[in-house]
Amino acid sequence: MTDAVRLRASDKGVVFDMVYRPNGFLDRARGLIGRPELGVGECMFFKNCNAVHMCFMTRSIDIFFLDEGYAVTKVVQCARIFGFYRDAKARHALECRAGAAATKGIEKGTIIIPEEF
Is pTM, for the whole model, over 0.95? no
The confidence band for 3, taking pLDDT boundaries of 50, 70 and 90, is: low
Cβ atoms 54, 93 nearer than 8 A:
no
The reported pLDDT for the residue numbered 1 is 57
Is the pLDDT reported for residue 20 higher than 80?
yes
Instruction: Kindly list the structural domains of the chain, giving each domain's residue range(s) and its CATH number in brackets, ordered by start.
Output: 2-114 (2.60.120.1140)
Convert the pLDDT of each residue in 95-115 to its tens digit: 999 999 999 999 999 999 887
Convert the pLDDT of each residue in 30-61 to its tens digit: 777 777 888 888 999 999 999 999 998 888 99
Is the pLDDT reported for residue 11 higher than 80?
no
